[in-house]
């Protein structure tokens, strides 16, 4: 069980659904949901020594700042965050190009399709354990 | 010729006396004694009477002259004297006969012997006419023939010598064994320019030029050693000029000793100079022939090479020495039966020069040959014109290409003034050479809207020798426009200066139209492709998102207690999702409707102000809610020929956007202004809303499902539809915006319908 999960998604229903699945599975102690990338970035303790979220579930297609913009903002901190924070893309997109693009970001540990289900959660665990 | 008869006559007047011999008393000088002495003495003694006839002749006459004394007695003495000597002798006899002289030594005279030979006699005659014993003239004669002969010979040699020495036209002089000039003839004086007085003191070496001295002294020493020799030398004339001499030194030897050296020299200056001149002229001629670009050779009458220049030798690849005196037909049998041979024979016969070109297959060469007759044979000069002819042929072909090609060709001078155009150019543009000669192509071909700076730049490039290629619109003579691909190549001369420009003017109107068609097709395809991509995006994101939620929700709901609050919330969300899915599907329908309808959409006369009022009316409740206001500055005749539904949709979208994104700091004001520009209408929709940072959003502004505001409103389809609809009715849309300063959308309707 991880201690903290961020959900970043502009779709309220998607947040509701994802949170519900995580809660039902008892995946994390704490679930934080953000409807925009900027909100999530504002909460992310990049410079302070406060604990980071273990997992971020990131939607791609969002207005103003997309999932990609969020990842680009983290670029300068990649080295510091690597190993401490795992990003999993959670998108409704079934476009292959999106999956390819995500591999350019070392923080991204996996690419998941909505809706989040138990199988996806198992994948997240495996990915995290595999590294540990 | 002495008068013999006269002598005869004179002779008859003489009376010769007989010698009276008185014997000596002491020596018993008897008449016999005297008679014996006289008779038998070796000396010839004769006595003549007063008429000059022999009265007595001593016996010695027979040994001396072959006569018997009795043969001569009574004959006149002068008969046997040489006619040439007779007058002198007669004179002397007269002197004796008439007592002028008692005794006379007669000058030597010739006396005819019996055998006819002349003998020289030296006589002393004494008149003894008074002596009664003698009564005659006694003459003692001695035969001095041999002495006289010797004397004559000596005189003769002297005359020869004198002739040889003094009258010789060549230089003759005598040198002492010390080398001094002892005597010289006039020729020496004339040729050396010194007087005789200058010589005796001088050594011959003083006159010889230094560079000839060694050889000259050698020759002199040889002569001193008794050996004559001939050599060439050169002396300095009194006036300083040179005289070339061809000299022979001959030692004068007497009794084994060299007394002097005789020199005979010939002035060879003229020959020498002539020789040098000939040599120089020959050299000059040689130089001329060598400097000729043409090959040159001479054939003698037997068709043998007698001369050739280097060009000729190089042409054959043989040395001249090797070729000389060889027969041309034997050396080069391939020349037999050629036009060349035929012409050679002809020129030799007619003595008339001939020029012709001939191809020699054996050496694959075309020669232009000139045959000229001369005294000793034929002169042949030739030039290899193979390349020249090939170049001419190429030129001919090129000009054929240039004149027959379907591309227009223009040739200009370096000022870009036309010198020549081909037929094709005239056919395409309608301009003939006469009409355009001297003009610059740009003056009548170029489109008037071409930038003069560009034209200047092109000319500058051409002047620098840079070739140009450009597609440009050209005027035809009849005013039509054609698209032309124009290639301009500067042509430089050997010195790198631009002399001409060659324009290749190709009519590419058809290609250009095809190209435009292709461009349109490509654009259409591009849009189609973009639409497909958009559709793909819609499917993968916007259509898939609600579907994913539906799947997720339905699976979650199964696990929830149907009576729980969570379950109820899930069901509500399920409904929301289904609605969103429906929205997306209806959006797609709208898009597809515009797409498929496009130009086929029914166009009608649309009054902009009417539609605007309708739109404002439909949005009135939203305006009221936000406290917004719309100002319409439109005119009655703002009419468009367009699809009314699109115009409505466009205005509705833009006005509702303005309402959606109003500023939080001030009341919303929306202004619609129309401006008429020629036949097009420009409509601006200006608000004072929250605005956008165009730098960030512009690339995506009119794209489908791109949203720039977070929050519940807006799906990102409105502006996409506006753009599509504007395009469908032939218009453009532009946007200006700044954050918190409002946004202005400007619509350009190309097909306004003023006056229709």
Would you list the domain boundaries of chain B?
A: 4-150, 168-273, 292-389, 405-503, 514-592, 601-749
Q: Which residues of A touch B706 (CB under 8 A)?
A: 63
The CATH fold assigned to B601-749 is Heat Shock Protein 90 (3.30.565)
> In this structure, are residues B440 and B417 in contact, taking their beta carbons and an 8 Å threshold?
yes
pLDDT at B6 over 60: no
Q: Give the pLDDT band (50/70/90) at residue B307.
A: confident
Predicted local distance difference test score (pLDDT) of residue B22: 52
Residue closest to B721 by CA, chosen among B695, B703, B697, B742: B703
Predicted local distance difference test score (pLDDT) of residue A123: 92
Question: What residue in A sits closest to B535 (Cα-Cα)?
Answer: A95
Calculate what percentage of chain B has a pLDDT beyond 70: 92
Predicted local distance difference test score (pLDDT) of residue B746: 93
> In this structure, are residues A89 and A112 in contact, taking their beta carbons and an 8 Å threshold?
yes
> In this structure, are residues B315 and B292 in contact, taking their beta carbons and an 8 Å threshold?
no
A21 and B CB contact within 8 Å: yes
User: Does B576 sit within 8 Å of A92, measured CB to CB?
Assistant: no
By DSSP bridging, strand B629-633 and strand B669-677 are parallel
- Cα–Cα distance for residue pair B294/B311, rounded to 1 Å: 7
**ipTM associated with this complex:** 0.87
CATH superfamily of B168-273: PAS domain (3.30.450.20)
A93 and B CB contact within 8 Å: yes
A41 and B CB contact within 8 Å: no
Topology agreement, domain B168-273 and domain B292-389 = yes
pLDDT at B12 over 50: no
pLDDT at A90 over 90: yes
A3 and B CB contact within 8 Å: no
Nearby residues of B101 by Cβ (< 8 Å), 6 or more positions away: B95, B127
Question: What residue in B sits closest to A36 (Cα-Cα)?
Answer: B710
pLDDT at B1 over 50: no
- Cα–Cα distance for residue pair B303/B330, rounded to 1 Å: 10
Q: What is the pLDDT of residues B567-583, one digit of tens each?
A: 888 899 899 889 888 88
Query: Higher-confidence residue: B559 or B11?
Result: B559
Q: Give the pLDDT band (50/70/90) at residue B597.
A: low
Predicted local distance difference test score (pLDDT) of residue B305: 92
User: Does B576 sit within 8 Å of A21, measured CB to CB?
Assistant: no
Residue closest to A37 by CA, chosen among A84, A72, A79, A5: A72
Query: Higher-confidence residue: B285 or B668?
Result: B668
pLDDT at B328 over 90: yes
Range with lowest mean pLDDT among A53-67, B416-430, B437-451, B673-687 = B437-451
**Positive or negative: CA dihedral B544, B545, B551, B554:** negative
Predicted local distance difference test score (pLDDT) of residue B330: 92
Residue closest to B385 by CA, chosen among B315, B288, B303: B315
pLDDT at B511 over 60: yes
Q: Which residues of A touch B555 (CB under 8 A)?
A: 115, 117
Looking up residue A118, the CATH number of its domain turns out to be: 3.40.50.2300
- Cα–Cα distance for residue pair B729/B641, rounded to 1 Å: 8
pLDDT at B447 over 90: no
In this structure, whether the domain defined by B514-592 belongs to CATH 1.10.10.60 is answered with no
Structure tokens at B564: 């729980």
User: Does B536 sit within 8 Å of A11, measured CB to CB?
Assistant: no
> In this structure, are residues B54 and B74 in contact, taking their beta carbons and an 8 Å threshold?
yes
User: Does B555 sit within 8 Å of A35, measured CB to CB?
Assistant: no
Shortest distance, CA B594 to any CA of chain A (angstroms): 25
Mutation target to probe the B interface, by most B beta carbons within 10 A, among A18, A19, A20, A35 is A20
> In this structure, are residues B195 and B189 in contact, taking their beta carbons and an 8 Å threshold?
yes
Through-space distance between the first and last CA atoms of chain B, rounded to whole angstroms: 160
pLDDT at B756 over 60: no
Residue B750 DSSP class: S
Predicted local distance difference test score (pLDDT) of residue B16: 44
Residue with structure tokens 């409103």? B713
Residue closest to B639 by CA, chosen among B604, B678, B670: B604
Predicted local distance difference test score (pLDDT) of residue B13: 42
- Cα–Cα distance for residue pair A46/A31, rounded to 1 Å: 18
Range with lowest mean pLDDT among B20-29, B98-107, B639-648, B692-701 = B20-29
3-state SS track over B27-76:
CCCCHHHHHHHHHHCCCEEEEEEECCEEEEECCHHHHHHCCCHHHHCCCE
Q: Please give the CATH architecture assigned to the domain spanning B292-389.
A: 2-Layer Sandwich (3.30)
Residue with structure tokens 């809207």? B449
Mutation target to probe the B interface, by most B beta carbons within 10 A, among A7, A9, A17 is A17
pLDDT at B596 over 80: no
Sheet with A55-58: strands ordered across: A28-34, A2-8, A55-58, A86-91, A108-113
pLDDT at A46 over 50: yes
Residue closest to B434 by CA, chosen among B421, B447, B445: B421
Q: Give the pLDDT band (50/70/90) at residue B10.
A: very low
DSSP string, chain A: -EEEEEEE-S-HHHHHHHHHHHHHHT-EEEEEEESSHHHHHHHS-SSS-SPPPSEEEE-S--SSS-HHHHHHHHGGGHHHHTTT-EEEEEES---HHHHHHHTT-TTEEEEEESSP-HHHHHHHHHHHHHH-
Nearest to B545 among A35, A36, A92 (CB): A92
Residues in chain A: 132
Q: Please give the CATH architecture assigned to the domain spanning B405-503.
A: 2-Layer Sandwich (3.30)
- The CATH number corresponding to B4-150 among 3.20.20.210, 3.30.450.90, 3.30.450.20, 3.30.70.560 equals 3.30.450.20
Q: What is the pLDDT of residues B331-386, one digit of tens each?
A: 999 999 999 999 999 999 999 999 999 999 998 899 999 999 988 889 999 988 88
- Cα–Cα distance for residue pair B238/B475, rounded to 1 Å: 93
pLDDT at B753 over 80: no
User: Does B536 sit within 8 Å of A114, measured CB to CB?
Assistant: no
A19 and B CB contact within 8 Å: no
Query: Higher-confidence residue: B473 or B6?
Result: B473
Residue B550: alpha-carbon gap to chain centroid: 96
The residue segments making up the domain with residue A15 are 2-131
Predicted local distance difference test score (pLDDT) of residue B15: 43
Question: What's the CA angle centered on B321, arms B316 and B323, to 5 degrees?
Answer: 45
Shortest distance, CA B690 to any CA of chain A (angstroms): 14
- The average pLDDT across B31-59 equals 80
User: Does B708 sit within 8 Å of A114, measured CB to CB?
Assistant: no
pLDDT at A132 over 60: no
> In this structure, are residues B85 and B110 in contact, taking their beta carbons and an 8 Å threshold?
yes
Shortest distance, CA A49 to any CA of chain B (angstroms): 30
Rg of chain B in Å (alpha carbons): 73
User: b/e string for B121-138 if b means 16 or more Cβ within 10 A?
Assistant: bbbebbbbbebeebbbbb
Question: What residue in B sits closest to A113 (Cα-Cα)?
Answer: B548
| Long-range CB contact pairs, B579-583, < 8 A, 24+ | B580/B545, B580/B546, B581/B543, B581/B546, B581/B547, B581/B550, B583/B715
> In this structure, are residues A15 and A63 in contact, taking their beta carbons and an 8 Å threshold?
no
Residue closest to B594 by CA, chosen among B642, B523, B662, B548: B642
E-assigned strands of B190-322? 229-236, 242-254, 257-267, 295-300, 305-308
Query: Higher-confidence residue: B446 or B514?
Result: B514
- Cα–Cα distance for residue pair B433/B514, rounded to 1 Å: 31
- The residues that bridge with B366 in the sheet, in sequence order, are B359
Residue closest to B670 by CA, chosen among B714, B718, B622, B703: B622
Nearest to A95 among B540, B545, B551 (CB): B540
Nearest to B541 among A14, A64, A92 (CB): A92
Query: Higher-confidence residue: A132 or B7?
Result: A132
- Cα–Cα distance for residue pair B745/B723, rounded to 1 Å: 11
Residue with structure tokens 């055998």? B115
Nearest to A63 among B559, B576, B709 (CB): B709
Question: What residue in B sits closest to A18 (Cα-Cα)?
Answer: B552
pLDDT at A108 over 90: yes
Q: What is the pLDDT of residues B217-275, one digit of tens each?
A: 898 998 888 888 888 888 888 888 888 888 898 898 888 888 889 888 888 888 888 88
User: Does A63 sit within 8 Å of B710, measured CB to CB?
Assistant: yes
- The average pLDDT across A79-98 equals 86
- The average pLDDT across B704-712 equals 64
Tell me the pLDDT of chain B averaged across its residues. 83
Nearest to A35 among B570, B708, B710 (CB): B710
- The residues that bridge with B476 in the sheet, in sequence order, are none
A100 and B CB contact within 8 Å: no
Structure tokens at A50: 């406060």
- Cα–Cα distance for residue pair B672/B656, rounded to 1 Å: 13
Q: What is the pLDDT of residues B120-167, one digit of tens each?
A: 888 898 888 888 888 888 888 888 888 888 988 998 888 888 888 888
- The average pLDDT across B641-667 equals 88
Predicted local distance difference test score (pLDDT) of residue A67: 92
> In this structure, are residues B202 and B180 in contact, taking their beta carbons and an 8 Å threshold?
yes
Nearby residues of B191 by Cβ (< 8 Å), 6 or more positions away: B171, B237, B243, B267
Nearest to A115 among B551, B707, B709 (CB): B551
User: b/e string for B468-479 if b means 16 or more Cβ within 10 A?
Assistant: beeebbbbeeee
Predicted local distance difference test score (pLDDT) of residue B713: 58
Predicted local distance difference test score (pLDDT) of residue B304: 93
- The average pLDDT across B79-88 equals 90
User: Does A64 sit within 8 Å of B710, measured CB to CB?
Assistant: yes
- The average pLDDT across A28-39 equals 92
Shortest distance, CA B649 to any CA of chain A (angstroms): 24
Question: What's the CA angle centered on B193, arms B190 and B195, to 5 degrees?
Answer: 90
Identify residues of B whose CB sits under 8 angstroms from chain A CBs.
536-537, 539-541, 544-545, 547-549, 551-553, 555-556, 559, 566, 569-570, 573, 576-577, 706-710, 714, 716
- The average pLDDT across B438-451 equals 79
Nearest to A116 among B547, B552, B707 (CB): B552
Residue closest to A112 by CA, chosen among A102, A104, A120: A120
> In this structure, are residues B175 and B263 in contact, taking their beta carbons and an 8 Å threshold?
yes
Query: Higher-confidence residue: B451 or B22?
Result: B451
A14 and B CB contact within 8 Å: yes
Nearest to B548 among A24, A95, A114 (CB): A114
User: Does B708 sit within 8 Å of A64, measured CB to CB?
Assistant: yes
User: Does B541 sit within 8 Å of A64, measured CB to CB?
Assistant: no
Question: How far, CA to CA in Å, does A86 sit from each of A2, A106, B36, B745?
Answer: 11, 9, 194, 44
Shortest distance, CA A74 to any CA of chain B (angstroms): 19
């Amino acid at each position: 069980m991880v201690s903290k999960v961020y959900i970043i998604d502009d779709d309220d229903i998607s947040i509701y659904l994802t949170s519900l699945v995580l809660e039902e599975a008892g995946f994390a102690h704490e679930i934080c949901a953000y409807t925009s990338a900027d909100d999530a970035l504002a909460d992310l303790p990049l410079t302070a020594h406060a604990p980071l979220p273990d997992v971020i579930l990131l939607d791609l297609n969002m207005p103003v700042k997309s999932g990609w913009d969020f990842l680009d903002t983290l670029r300068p901190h990649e080295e510091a965050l690597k190993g401490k924070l795992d990003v999993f893309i959670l998108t409704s997109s079934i476009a292959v190009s999106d999956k390819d693009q995500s591999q350019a970001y070392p923080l991204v540990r996996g690419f998941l399709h909505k809706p989040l289900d138990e199988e996806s959660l198992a994948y997240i665990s495996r990915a995290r354990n595999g590294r540990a | 010729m002495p008068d013999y008869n006269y002598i005869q006559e004179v002779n008859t007047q003489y009376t010769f006396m007989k010698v009276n011999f008185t014997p000596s008393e002491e020596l018993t000088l008897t008449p016999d004694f005297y008679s014996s002495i006289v008779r038998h003495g070796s000396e010839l003694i004769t006595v003549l009477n007063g008429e000059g006839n022999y009265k007595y002749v001593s016996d010695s006459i027979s040994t001396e002259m072959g006569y018997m004394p009795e043969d001569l007695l009574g004959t006149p003495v002068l008969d046997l004297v040489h006619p040439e000597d007779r007058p002198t002798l007669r004179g002397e006899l007269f002197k004796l006969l008439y007592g002028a002289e008692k005794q006379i030594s007669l000058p030597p005279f010739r006396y005819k012997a019996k055998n006819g030979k002349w003998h020289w006699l030296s006589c002393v005659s004494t008149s003894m006419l008074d002596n009664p014993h003698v009564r005659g003239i006694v003459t003692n004669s001695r035969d001095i023939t041999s002495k006289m002969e010797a004397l004559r010979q000596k005189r003769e040699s002297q005359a020869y010598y004198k002739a040889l020495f003094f009258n010789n036209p060549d230089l003759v002089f005598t040198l002492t064994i010390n080398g001094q000039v002892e005597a010289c003839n006039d020729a020496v004086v004339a040729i050396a320019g010194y007087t005789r007085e200058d010589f005796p003191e001088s050594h011959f070496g003083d006159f010889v030029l230094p560079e000839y001295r060694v050889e000259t002294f050698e020759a002199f020493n040889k002569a001193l050693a008794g050996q004559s020799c001939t050599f060439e030398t050169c002396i300095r004339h009194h006036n300083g000029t040179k005289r070339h001499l061809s000299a022979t030194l001959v030692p004068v030897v007497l009794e084994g000793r060299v007394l002097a050296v005789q020199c005979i020299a010939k002035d060879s200056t003229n020959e020498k100079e002539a020789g040098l001149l000939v040599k120089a002229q020959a050299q000059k001629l040689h130089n001329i022939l060598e400097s000729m670009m043409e090959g040159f050779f001479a054939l003698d009458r037997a068709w043998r090479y007698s001369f050739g220049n280097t060009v000729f030798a190089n042409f054959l690849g043989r040395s001249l020495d090797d070729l000389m005196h060889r027969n041309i037909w034997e050396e080069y049998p391939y020349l037999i039966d050629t036009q060349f041979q035929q012409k050679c024979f002809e020129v030799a016969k007619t003595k008339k020069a001939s020029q012709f070109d001939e191809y020699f297959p054996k050496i694959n060469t075309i020669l232009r040959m000139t045959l000229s007759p001369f005294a000793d044979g034929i002169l042949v000069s030739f030039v290899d014109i193979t390349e020249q002819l090939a170049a001419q042929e190429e030129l001919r072909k090129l000009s054929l290409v240039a004149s027959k090609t379907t591309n227009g060709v223009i040739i200009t001078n370096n000022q870009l003034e036309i010198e020549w155009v081909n037929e094709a150019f005239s056919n395409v543009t309608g301009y003939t050479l006469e009409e355009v000669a001297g003009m610059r192509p740009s003056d009548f071909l170029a489109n008037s809207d071409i930038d003069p700076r560009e034209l200047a730049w092109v000319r500058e490039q051409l002047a620098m020798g840079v070739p140009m290629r450009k597609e440009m619109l050209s005027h035809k003579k009849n005013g039509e426009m054609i698209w032309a691909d124009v290639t301009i190549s500067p042509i430089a001369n050997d010195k790198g200066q631009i002399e001409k420009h060659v324009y290749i003017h190709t009519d590419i109107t058809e290609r250009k139209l095809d190209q435009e068609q292709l461009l349109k097709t490509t654009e259409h395809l591009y849009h189609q492709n973009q639409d497909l991509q958009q559709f793909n995006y819609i499917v993968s994101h916007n259509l898939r998102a609600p579907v994913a939620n539906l799947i997720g929700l339905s699976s979650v709901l199964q696990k929830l207690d149907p009576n729980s609050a969570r379950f109820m919330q899930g069901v509500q969300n399920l409904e929301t999702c289904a609605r969103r899915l429906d929205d997306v599907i209806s959006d797609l329908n709208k898009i597809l409707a515009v797409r498929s309808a496009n130009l086929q959409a029914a166009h009608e006369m649309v009054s902009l102000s009417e539609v605007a009022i309708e739109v404002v009316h439909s949005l009135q409740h939203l305006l009221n809610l936000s406290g917004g206001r719309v100002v319409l500055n439109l005119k009655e005749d703002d009419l468009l020929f367009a699809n009314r539904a699109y115009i409505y949709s466009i205005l509705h979208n833009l006005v509702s956007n303005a309402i959606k994104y109003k500023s939080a700091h001030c009341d919303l004001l929306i202004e619609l202004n129309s401006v008429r520009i020629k036949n097009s209408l420009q409509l601006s929709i200006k608000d004072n809303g929250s605005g956008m940072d165009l730098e960030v959003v512009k690339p995506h502004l009119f794209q489908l499902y791109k949203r720039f505001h977070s929050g519940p409103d807006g799906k990102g389809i409105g502006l996409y539809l506006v753009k599509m609809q504007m395009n469908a009715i032939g218009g453009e849309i532009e946007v200006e915006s700044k954050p918190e300063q409002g946004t202005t959308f400007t619509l350009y309707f190309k097909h306004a319908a003023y006056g229709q």
